[in-house]
A and B are shown apart, each in its own frame.
Chain A
Amino acid sequence: MHNRLRAAIASAAVLLAPLAVSQRAATSPSFPAYRAPRLAGHPDLNGLWQALVTANWDLRNHEAQPGLHPELEGAYDAGPAGQSIIEGGEIPYLPEALKKKKENFENRGKVDVSNDDNRHGLGDPELKCYMPGVPRATYMPFPFQIVQGSSPYILIAYEFTTATRIVRMDWKQEAPTPAWMGWSRGHWEGDTLVVDVTGQREESWLDRAGDFHSDSFHVVERYTPASPYHLMYEATIEDPKVYTRPWKISFPLYRRMEKSVQLLEFKCVPFTEDLLFGKFGKPGGSR
């Protein structure tokens, strides 16, 4: 017994020294250098990918939280806890913008589409099944598929509300008109697909916590293959009307590995119709 104890103490001492290092490694995994297989001369990013972070509830550190109607749904609509995916932890809001973010959160579950001029004024767009925009589409709890061939276009198809976006490679033209999924132009930097996203509709949100942007929203995404099964995702976000400086998020994307896995439909419009349009029906007139 005595010997065992001594041995345990000794091995603990040996373990203590590298502990600091291994903890750092645990929080930011570093992969051995990896070169992705090529398709038509470029890294092949084809596949079904998914984030495992819980940033869709809140980009920042967040505790587990009840849903909007715990009295009806119990734990069903409750959200998981999660750690911030933001470099430095916080979003650098301008003071006025921080106020608006808090209002957004308070009003996240409210909807009123009866007034055309303020149709998008209330409620999280996700609640209403609107296309989520970028980068939110990337960290929603749904997979997405990258379709890359030999044309100057890469398609990203998201399961949530079957949203799609076309990445135009080495494209000059600026966004022709605002769109919910924005205007994406890509280029390769070594093994990294860099996508510049402008022209997003100003009404989209970044998460359920009410984080938002304006019509000056500019996102630069970086998709870097880290192994056959991982892409490292990074996005730099700027919007001088809302934030004091550009800020950055990052997290890994995981390849979906199930046999015969495929993107399924999450056409959520039918789930929102009673909420959005129910009150305009004839009382007692449901068919």
Chain B
Amino acid sequence: MTQRILLAIGLFASLVAAQAPKPAAKAANPTKRSLARTPWGDPDLQGVWNDATSTPLQRPSGVGQKDVLTDEEAQGFAEELANDLSRDRRDGGAEVDVNRAYNEHWMDARRLKITADRRTSLIVDPPDGRIPPLVKLPPEREKARAARAAANARFNAGMPLTYRDMSLPVRCIIRTDSPPYLPTIYNNDFQIFQSPGSVVIAPEMIHSARIIPVGAQPHLGTDLHQWLGDSRGHWDGDTLVVETTNFRKDDGVIFQNADPDTYRITERFTRVDADTLNYEFTVEDPHTWTRPWTARIPWTKIDPKEQMYEYACHEDNYDLVHFLIGARSREQRGEK
């Protein structure tokens, strides 16, 4: 609990800090002249980066075909979001109030901002900003999806049967550490380390390091699978291109439970200026989606005085026990 309070105070502090006027780094023209390099000559991506944004992954239906907001619309969107998150929401009774426990107090303040280019979706391809439709799935995959949906429904109803009814993030097995990296409500920090021949990404959730050999080293054998897959990188000009394969087949490891045998993810990391890194990923799986799709998320460098904290998820996973004890207690009271 203390950890949570500290985290909350940290978030609040960063909220206040965010209101202070920003230095002019952003206003300066982003030019390639001063692209930082490591002593061994690679583009320098080292630092602590944050990918929080309020821009949704998929374009909301309300904005129609509009792919970029005007300044005015963007301002209006930000204000509406801020109002919505901080308004008094005690209007739904005790149960609803508990369900709204994760209010703006928990959230990364940067999450109130949409991307600097004011896009209406993080997806840039297909042009409609939406994840392409699913192909027809074979019966066994439909069955697995239905089983997963039923487990989620039990969990959401407060009646998980066993720990297996919970998602991988709730079980603290993987969180934002497996690619693609998508913004979430909190702890959107990633620290990048580099050494000659490798780039390492350490996401705040959960404390794993994704070590990416950069060069010609071949992938692991196809019979060796990992939760984070097996990544290999190369430089395409100043862009780090990362191909990741060898994902485990467990439910929920890959986005939308694509087929690990045919799933491909390619990520591109490009430092645009001192404070911005463009993160772009393309996923394809002919066994899951009708076409490949691509999203672009700007990462912002954060003040080194703000630091990553250890995210000890499993060690202090009190919630998982509470969920299960709660469900057993409801069963005893005869609830379904």
A-side residues, CB < 8 A to B, are 39-40, 46, 113-114, 116, 119, 125, 128-131, 145, 147-153, 155, 157, 161-164, 166, 176-177, 179-181, 201, 260, 262-265, 267, 269-270, 273, 277-278, 280-282, 285-287
Contacts and interface: CB of A to CB of B under 8 A. Distances in A.
Contact of B228 (A177, A265, A280): A265
Contacts of A161: 314
Given A155-B209, A176-B309, A116 B318 contact: yes
Interface in B19-73: 38-40, 44, 46-47
Contact of A46 (B163, B165, B196): B196
Contacts of A113: 321
Contacts of B200: 147, 155, 157
B195 A164 contact: no
A51 B89 CA distance: 55
A164 B210 CA distance: 11
B312 A151 contact: no
A265 B211 contact: no
Nearest to B308: A166
Interface string B141-161: 000000100010000000001
A264 B226 CA distance: 8
Given A128-B315, A147-B211, 7 more contacts: A131-B207, A153-B191, A179-B309, A263-B209, A281-B161, A286-B162, A287-B162
B165 A280 contact: no
Interface in B204-232: 206-209, 211, 213, 217-218, 220, 224, 226-228
Contacts of A129: 314
A280 B328 contact: yes
Contacts of A128: 315
7 contacts: A113-B321, A177-B3, A180-B315, A260-B217, A262-B220, A265-B228, A269-B171
B321 A39 contact: no
B191 A282 contact: no
A204 B63 CA distance: 52
**A contact patch SS:** loop
Nearest to A151: B46
B211 A157 contact: yes
A163 B172 CA distance: 13
A198 to B, nearest CB: 14
A131 B317 CA distance: 13
A148 B316 CA distance: 30
B161 A286 contact: yes
Contact of B172 (A179, A269, A286): A269
A287 B165 contact: yes
Contacts of A201: 312, 315
A166 B6 CA distance: 20
B324 A267 contact: no
Contacts of A130: 312, 314-315
A153 B191 CA distance: 10
Given A153-B193, A263-B211, A285 B321 contact: no
B209 A162 contact: yes
A47 B313 CA distance: 28
B325 interface: yes
B312 A131 contact: yes
B249 to A, nearest CB: 13
B327 interface: yes
Given A155-B202, A269-B173, A277-B163, A149 B195 contact: yes
Interface string B296-336: 00000000100111101011101011001101100100000
B321 A147 contact: no
Nearest to B310: A179
Contacts of A151: 46-47, 193-194
Given A153-B191, A177-B3, A287 B312 contact: no
A149 B226 contact: no
B198 interface: yes
Given A265-B227, A286-B161, A114 B325 contact: yes
A287 B164 contact: yes
Contact of B39 (A39, A163, A181, A263): A39
Given A149-B194, A280-B321, A164 B208 contact: yes
A130 B194 CA distance: 27
A163 B207 contact: yes
B310 A277 contact: no
Contacts of B3: 177
Given A114-B321, A148-B195, A263-B211, A177 B309 contact: yes
A148 to B, nearest CB: 6
Contacts of B331: 282
A113 B320 CA distance: 10
Nearest to A180: B312
A202 to B, nearest CB: 13
